[in-house]
Amino acid sequence: MTVSGHGDEHDPEFIVSTDLAPVDSSPEIDTGVDPEDEGSSGELSPTRLAWKRFLANRLAVAGLVILSALVILCVFLPVVMSLEPNAVDAAQFRKGPSDGRPLGSDSAGRDVFARLVYGGRVSLLVGLSAAFSATVIGMALGAAAGFFGGFVDGFISRVTDVVLSFPTVVIIIIVAAFAGPSLKVLILSIALFEWPTACRLVRGLTLSLREQESVVAARGLGGRSLHILRRHIVPATIAPLTVVATLLVAQAILLEAALSFLGLGVPPPTASWGNMLTESQSLTILESMPWLWIPPGAAIAVAVLAVNFVGDGLREMADPRQQR
């Protein structure tokens, strides 16, 4: 790994305009396989230290456990149980919880528990893939802006400003309404409007990394821009970026839920936690059929809370200055 810790004395004036204070954590930036990791005798390696910090944060660990449990349940429950999320049964119209159906059935007589599990698959999938895409877009644009500077930087920074001053929810509603609700549109539109946070972070990091000796040396040796970006800049941004990516996952799950709730996200009959709640805008359901709206709402809350706990833990892990 090429990015090493001798950084700060060289460039005293870098002002990184991010709230994550990334530069001082240069030992942790090294995320690859750490040779010190094996056979560490007494002295803890940066990676081990970071893990210790993460594990010491009880909420973060709880979040990780809950999140893993949710993912495992949503992925594997349909494998071991026979769940029919889309089987319509008129005889079961809005029936309360019973033996065969622990969470009752909805207005089309479908099994609410089955829909909750399958909806979880969709909601988590949208959250993860939208956040991942947004992070990748942000990373690419941010690295380009920070590395090339000048016109490229100016242009990308202005575009970031434009996207940041959009009311994102409104814009995504517009896109979703016009392009017609579908999973693809949903993931893409969340990604297209949520990348600026990642972009700003990576731009700031790149600005300072660009001046590091390793990068200067690589350039002096004739390394091409793309090679330097890939080998020296991008790997060093991954660790701080995971914090932002985690928070984007939470954001994306919430956005999916809100859009599906308004009928502009995941199209029926596919279940998602958000569109399971659409019906509960009716007062009858809200008043007398709590099994229809409490489980999906609670599922969203628990999932997002868990992701945010993990994100907080990662933030403290990446930034040792912030003491608890």
- Which residue ranges make up the site for another protein (CB under 8 A)? 17, 59, 157-159, 161-162, 164-171, 173-175, 177-180, 250, 254, 257-258, 261-262, 277, 280-281, 283, 286-287, 290, 293, 297, 300-301, 304-305, 307-309, 312, 322, 324
Nearer to another protein, 178 or 222 (CB): 178
Nearer to another protein, 73 or 169 (CB): 169
Burial class (CB in 10 A: 0-12, 13-18, 19+), 140: middle
Burial class (CB in 10 A: 0-12, 13-18, 19+), 48: middle
Which of 306, 299, 307, 255 is CA-nearest to residue 276? 299
* Nearest approach, Cβ of residue 13 and another protein (Å): 11
Q: What is the DSSP letter of 105?
A: B
* Nearest approach, Cβ of residue 164 and another protein (Å): 7
φ and ψ of 41, to 5 deg: -105, 100
Nearer to another protein, 232 or 315 (CB): 315
Coil, strand or helix: which one is 322?
coil
* Nearest approach, Cβ of residue 179 and another protein (Å): 6
Nearer to another protein, 59 or 140 (CB): 59
CA dist list (Å): 231 to 5, 14, 309: 16, 22, 31
Nearer to another protein, 49 or 258 (CB): 258
* Nearest approach, Cβ of residue 183 and another protein (Å): 17
Using CA atoms in the order 133, 138, 139, 140, what is the torsion angle rounded to 10 degrees?
90
Give the number of other CB atoms < 10 A from CB of residue 148: 15
* Nearest approach, Cβ of residue 260 and another protein (Å): 10
Nearer to another protein, 209 or 259 (CB): 259
Which of 161, 152, 124 is CA-nearest to residue 252? 124
86 in Cβ contact with 110 (< 8 Å): yes
260 in Cβ contact with 127 (< 8 Å): no
* Nearest approach, Cβ of residue 182 and another protein (Å): 12
Nearer to another protein, 178 or 226 (CB): 178
Nearer to another protein, 28 or 256 (CB): 256
Half-sphere exposure of 31 (CA within 13 A, CB side): 15
* Nearest approach, Cβ of residue 106 and another protein (Å): 16
Phi-psi category of residue 3: left, alpha or beta, with phi > 0 → left and psi -120 to 50 → alpha: beta
* Nearest approach, Cβ of residue 123 and another protein (Å): 11
Which of 122, 129, 168 is CA-nearest to residue 276? 122
- Amino acid (1-letter code) at residue 36: E
